[in-house]
Amino acid sequence: MIGAINSALDVMLARDASVVVMGEDVGFFGGVFRATAGLQKRYGTHRIFDTPITECGIIGVAIGMGAYGLRPVPEIQFADYIYPALDQLVSEAARLRYRSAGEFTAPITVRSPFGGGIFGGQTHSQSPEGIFTHCSGLKTVIPSTPYDAKGLLIAAIEDNDPVIFFEPKRIYNGPFHGHYDRPATSWAGHPQAQVPTGHYRIALGKAAVVREGMDLTILCYGAMVHVVANTVAEMAIDAEIIDLRTLIPLDIATIEASVKKTGRCLIVHEATRTSGFGAELSALVQERCFYHLEAPVGRVTGFDTPYPYSLEWAYFPGPVRIRSAIEALFEDLRP
């Protein structure tokens, strides 16, 4: 997936002279996760450059560059570090088009690795997507495969609105099936690992039906898509798995059609539970599909604690939690 992201940046830097890439360690070194490796050498220090360690400054400067007419792609090294930039994202980038009635826009794409499963502790593991989906004016995109990562990132960079692009770092090097105690798998051989070298786009706001099924609908995104798919395979249940890919704008039509077909819905994300994006999904499904539901909408999430370093796998919403939540959707709970 790292290669796909690197390729997306490469393609856009070559196609569009207004694209610039900036962030901590992204220049000469090529990024702590290697997402920008080789790009500075190819495109020069005016277009790919290291920045001081101030996320507020990185995003503020990117907004100013966007106002000038550039198309900046700032990297925030870990999503956990994004909070100093919140005012610039939420009050500035997100509202610039609106408050200036279109005179100025912020066509920036903020890339940031997010999520846990890498023993990163509380400052290298968080999933803060719900903070951004709650604010009007930001798009939030989360890929789950190398193919999607490239197509979605190109679409995000070409988009004229600010996009928060969260990259699930647990699956940078291979899909994660949820069993932390088994050997890690690589992307080799995965059907979505083949990435064309050229330009292609995956439209923002379109979910992917990863697996069609009749028994229940599972809504998920990022690394959890793979954990869910594996658990469903282990349970031999006919679940329809929807990878949302874009949280804002959300593909409500695909969700609605699926839940009306299956009559059951489980929502899975790694982020903390309370006020998480799953709560919004749950409300939307309830509002739109209530009379088709055979069971209450279920949620599988991380717990409402800080991400615990040594107890990471007790926190992570893995196969055990997903399996029991699926089973609960088929219990007869009526008194």
Partner 1 sequence: MNPSSPLANRPALRLHVPEPPARPGEEASFADLAIPEAGAACQPASDAPPAEFRELAYALIRVLDDEGRAVGPWNPRLDPDRLRAMLRAMVLTRAFDDVMFRAQRQGKTSFYMKSLGEEAVSIGAAFALAGDDMLFPSYRQQGLLIARGWSIEDMMNQIYGNRADRLMGRQLPIMYSVKEASFFSISGNLATQFPQAVGWAMASAAKGDTRIAATWCGEGSTAEGDFHSACTFASVYRAPVILNVVNNQWAISAFSGFAGAEATTFAARGIGYGIASLRVDGNDALAVFAATQWAADRARTNHGPTLIEHFTYRAEGHSTSDDPGAYRSSAEARAWPLGDPVARLAQHLVAIGEWSEGQQAELERECAAQIRATQKAAEANGVFGHGFNQPFATMFEGVFEQMPWHLAEQQRQMLDEQKAAGL
Among 32, 37, 56, 293, binds partner 1 (CB under 8 A): 56
Which of these ranges, 101-109, 194-202, 262-270, 320-328, lies near partner 1 under the rule CB under 8 A? 101-109
Smallest distance from partner 1 to CB 251, Å: 9
Q: How far is CA 156 from CA 8, 94, 202, in A?
A: 10, 14, 9
Please report how many Cα atoms fall inside a 13 Å half-sphere around the Cα of residue 88, on the Cβ side.
Answer: 21
For residues 47 and 323, which CB has a smaller minimum distance to partner 1 in the complex?
47
Torsion of CA 309, 314, 318, 323, to 10 degrees: -170
Structure tokens that stand for 86 in this block: 């919140």
| Residues 205 and 249 sit within 8 Å (Cβ to Cβ) | yes
DSSP 141-167: E---SHHHHHHHHHHHHHSSS-EEEEE
SS3 at position 33: coil
Q: Please, which of residues 200-229 interact with partner 1 by CB under 8 A?
A: 205
287 binds partner 1 (CB under 8 A): no
Q: Is 124 a catalytic residue?
A: yes
317 binds partner 1 (CB under 8 A): no
250 binds partner 1 (CB under 8 A): yes
252 binds partner 1 (CB under 8 A): yes
Which of these ranges, 94-102, 177-185, 210-218, 263-271, lies near partner 1 under the rule CB under 8 A? 94-102
Which of these ranges, 117-125, 132-140, 143-151, 193-201, lies near partner 1 under the rule CB under 8 A? 132-140
Q: Please give the Cα distance from 240 to 199 (Å, whole number).
A: 30
Q: 249 preceded by cis ω (within 30°)? A: yes
For residues 95 and 211, which CB has a smaller minimum distance to partner 1 in the complex?
95
Among 96, 110, 141, 219, binds partner 1 (CB under 8 A): 96
Q: Please give the Cα distance from 38 to 174 (Å, whole number).
A: 22
68 binds partner 1 (CB under 8 A): yes
290 binds partner 1 (CB under 8 A): no
Q: How many CB atoms lie within 10 A of CB 311?
A: 11
DSSP 191-257: TT----SS-----TT--EEEE--SSEEEEE-TTHHHHHHHHHHHHT--EEEEE-SEEETT-HHHHHH
For residues 104 and 119, which CB has a smaller minimum distance to partner 1 in the complex?
104
Smallest distance from partner 1 to CB 74, Å: 10
Q: Please give the Cα distance from 192 to 194 (Å, whole number).
A: 6
Q: Please give the Cα distance from 74 to 271 (Å, whole number).
A: 23
Which of these ranges, 33-41, 51-59, 149-157, 322-330, lies near partner 1 under the rule CB under 8 A? 51-59
Among 28, 29, 91, 305, binds partner 1 (CB under 8 A): 91
Among 111, 139, 169, 226, binds partner 1 (CB under 8 A): 139
| Residues 147 and 155 sit within 8 Å (Cβ to Cβ) | no
64 binds partner 1 (CB under 8 A): yes
| Residues 110 and 59 sit within 8 Å (Cβ to Cβ) | yes
Smallest distance from partner 1 to CB 166, Å: 19
How many residues touch partner 1 under the rule CB under 8 A: the total is 47
Question: One symbol per residue from 150 to 169: x for binding partner 1 (CB under 8 A), - otherwise; what is it?
Answer: ---------xxx--------
Which of these ranges, 33-41, 113-121, 168-176, 248-256, lies near partner 1 under the rule CB under 8 A? 248-256
Binding site for partner 1 (CB under 8 A): 20, 46-47, 51-52, 54, 56-57, 59-70, 72, 84, 87-88, 91-92, 96-105, 136-137, 139, 159-161, 205, 248-250, 252
Residues noted as catalytic: 124
